[in-house]
Every structure is written in structure tokens, then in C-alpha cells.
Amino acid sequence: MGPLGIFEEVTQQLKRPDIVQATNVACPNNWATDPGALLCTAEVDNIAFGTGHQIYRSTILPAVEAAETEVILVTCFWARSETLDDLNNSLRKLSATARRKATTILVRLCFSSSSLWQKLSQSSSSNGHIWPEAQWRSYLGLPDVDELQGLDIEIKSVFQLPFSVMHPKFVIIDRERVLLPSCNVSWENWFEGCIDLRGSVVLQFVQFWQCFWASDGDQQTIIRFITSSNPNNAATPIVRATVSARGWYSSNLDVQAVPAMFLPSPHHRFDLPWLSSNRPPPTPLNIYLLTLLARAEREIYIQTPNLTSEVVLSELLAALERGVDVTIVTSRKLMRLEQMITAGTTTGRCVRRLRTRYEELRQRDETASDGDLELGLVAQRPGRLIIRYYEPRVASDPDVVEPVQSHLKLTLIDSKIAVLGSGNMDRASWHTSQELGLALTSEALVKEVWQALSTAMEGRSTTVYDSD
């Protein structure tokens, strides 16, 4: 099945009565009455890899400083860090620009988690908490209000006890441009990615923000129509890869009107893994990824911080059994306590179990092949399985910060489809957290994303299993 066929299949699944019923109680759920509205187009300007601080400094904050009317920044974690320090400087510059032009620029900052106190003390309502100006500096580490007089700022946090974080990360600039990073406003020196988008996809992000994050006043804001291009007119990307002296990687892409599907995944009540079904909630992101894995024909590449979702492991094994090659890049020891709480297992255990199940599959295949050959039949051999753990390079330049773990979330299928966003391949992302993904369909785009990623990942992984 082709990529556009997958779009259609997912859209039809989202129209099923049982899924519509489940969607009606989710938040946000603006796609429930018309799943086809999730289809859009995206013009891809740039993809960058590096630490979160490097990506903010090189890609996100220059866009923030160039804003003319509005900045909407949504992140999961908010922490005092170099990233926050640089964001503060950008807000000061933006305010100065607005005052010089005698105008006001609207800024909306949204996050889910900043401290244990914040998560325990604020309301678990999806309406969240609006932070008063008196707490901006002391609790959130922002500049004094007097330094931001050119900005109309509102800061909102949403968290649901015990473990339902709002995990998406995105930045909307003037409702004309979206940056979709994997990183938070935080201090972790992790390997991250960020893609820069324009086109009708921007409207999808605006609607998502308005449905979930916007306050009553912002709900009345008129959404400007963003002109979409012909989705069949996908130009070949022109790439100029850059490796900066500070260790981040950027590829400028010129891709017009790539067919895309916006993939929200509302948060759900946390439940203990051994007391609940392994079947995840039927959200657009979950349904799309399951359909994508089930329809893969040649190869699957997954880079994820953690791998503890049982349904993902089962789909990967089924794909291998069909003869599809599978490559997984994950982290060896990242957030293991969180994995035990939310999944009852760890990535290491799941990787070992996948290897064991795969070896059993190969053994069954070899046994079956002997009998098939006697009958003149040729059996389908299992696909190749490669598992790699992220491993930082040995720093050759003391001035360059080396990412110590991989936090990138990326799935590539058959060199045709790329899925990026906030969702991990762990149980928390599939069952509990609010997530947001974006599927992009273009062989030219996937080729360039892969080339840029390969350059950025060179020397940053170790193979722990290769079936060949």
C-alpha cells in the first residue's frame, strides 16, 4: 500500500463508531467529526540535529526574535538552564523591537512540568494554571516584567496527576511557520532534532493550541487562512548541509507541498501496566503508527529514547516475519525509573526480549524451510534486525558539548514516510501522555532527512545486535 493509501486507511479507521466514541471523551478532539481534516501539506525549510541548547540557539530563537505579531511556544519540561537564559534574552530583544515599532507582540508560553512542587500543587484540570506576573521571575526564571513591556505574555501549565504530562513541543511564529523540535526548555545535553515547516500544516498546530492551550480570550482569535499548495507538486530538495563549530548540524531543504498528516494523541488516565490492556488508546498518532508498521514492505528505521511499548514490539516482530528489515536506535540507560513506573519494564529488558523472540522466529523459519524445500517451496525469510544503542563520541574539542543520550523521536518507513514529533516508542507515550506527531510523505525528503541524520549520528552509536 502506498503512503497516500495509508492516509486513507487511517482516516477510515478514525471514522469507526467505537473510535469516534472513544475520541469524544478525549481532549483535544477537534478532528472527531472530520478525520480527513488532519490531512494537510508542509513545506520543509530546514532540519537540524544537536543538543537542545544548540537547536534553540541556532534554529528556534532566531525565529522567535524575527517574529512580527505572535510567538506560541509549547514545551513539556521547563527548567532553569542555558536554554532558558537564551530564551530570556530573545524575549528581551523581541520586546525591544516591539517597543521600537510602537506595537505589541503576543507571546504564549505553555508547559506541563517544571518541578515536583508545581505538579503536586496545581490543579489537575485540563484548564491548567495561568501563572501570575509576580511568579514569573521567582518560580519560572523569566526576566522582570519591566523588561518585557513590548510583549503581551501569558504563561500556562497543564499537568494531570499522577503521570499524565503534556508532552508535545512546538513553536508557532506569526501563524506562518512552525518549528517542531524533540527538545524541551531544559538543561539536558541530549541528541535532539528539529524540523522547520510552513504551509497548511501550520493551521493544524494553531488549531491544536487553540483547542487545548488557549485561554478564553485567545479562543476568540481569528485563525488566518494559510494557503496550501498542490500536494502532488513535491520538488526535489536542495540540501546544503552545515556542521558548525559548535557541534550542531543543519540541512537546508527546499521541499514544496509535501503531503502530510497531523497526528494528535490526547492524554489518558494513567493505569498500572499489569492491570490494563496492552492495546493503546485509539488516537490518530497511535493508529497511524500501527498502520504504518503493519503496511511496511521493505524497511523500518526507528530512533527513540525508550522502547517499552508491547504493541510496538509485537508489530516490529510481525514486520520482521514478513521479511521487512528493522533498525532500532535507542538509549541504553535513559529514565529507567520512569520506565519501571509507567511500563513495569525497561528498554534493556525489551531489547533482550525482542532479540530472543526474533531468534526463535529465525529458528522456526529454518526448520520450516527444510520441509518447504523438499516440497519445492520457497519460504519467506525473516527480515534483518539491527539494534544499536546511542553512544556519545569521545570529545575532541573541549568547547563543543557532546550529546550524552539520544532524545530524538523519528520513524522512517520504506524510504517514503517520515514521522516526527514528541512520541516515544514507550508505554507512557502510547498509553498516557499527550503527544503530537507529524507524518511527511516524500521520497526526496526522507532521503535528505536520512543523509542529514547519518552525518549527525556518525560515531554516535554502537551495534549490539545484527542478525547478518
Measured CA to CA, the distance from residue 286 to residue 276 in angstroms comes to 17
The per-residue pLDDT for 465 is 97
Closest C-alpha among 175, 169, 15, 212 to residue 78? 169
Give strand ranges (E) for 169-245. 170-173, 177-181, 190-198, 240-243
Side-chain half-sphere of 17: how many Cα atoms within 13 Å?
Answer: 0
Q: How far is CA 98 from CA 61, 63, 73, 91, 173, in A?
A: 16, 15, 18, 10, 15
What is the tally of structural domains in the chain?
1
Q: How far is CA 73 from CA 122, 157, 169, 246, 249, in A?
A: 20, 12, 8, 24, 22
Q: For residue 423, what is its C-alpha cell?
A: 512520541
- For 84, the domain range is 3-466
The per-residue pLDDT for 217 is 67
Say whether 380 sits in a helix, a strand or coil: coil
The per-residue pLDDT for 1 is 57
Angle (nearest 5°) at CA 225 between 224 and 226: 110
The per-residue pLDDT for 371 is 55
Measured CA to CA, the distance from residue 169 to residue 72 in angstroms comes to 11
pLDDT in tens, the chain (468 residues): 566 689 889 999 999 998 988 888 788 888 888 999 999 999 998 999 999 999 999 999 999 999 999 999 999 999 999 999 999 999 999 999 999 999 999 999 999 999 877 777 777 777 889 999 999 999 999 999 999 999 999 999 998 877 778 999 999 999 999 999 999 999 999 999 999 999 999 999 999 999 999 977 676 554 443 333 333 334 434 344 455 545 667 777 765 689 999 999 998 877 766 555 678 999 999 999 999 999 999 999 999 999 999 999 999 999 999 999 999 999 988 887 777 878 788 999 999 999 999 999 999 877 776 555 555 555 678 999 999 999 999 876 777 889 999 999 999 999 999 999 999 999 999 999 999 999 999 999 999 999 999 999 999 999 999 998
Q: Which residues contact 261 (CB under 8 A, 6 or more apart)?
A: 7, 10, 38, 39, 40, 284, 288, 438, 439
The per-residue pLDDT for 265 is 95
The per-residue pLDDT for 239 is 40
pTM of this structure: 0.91
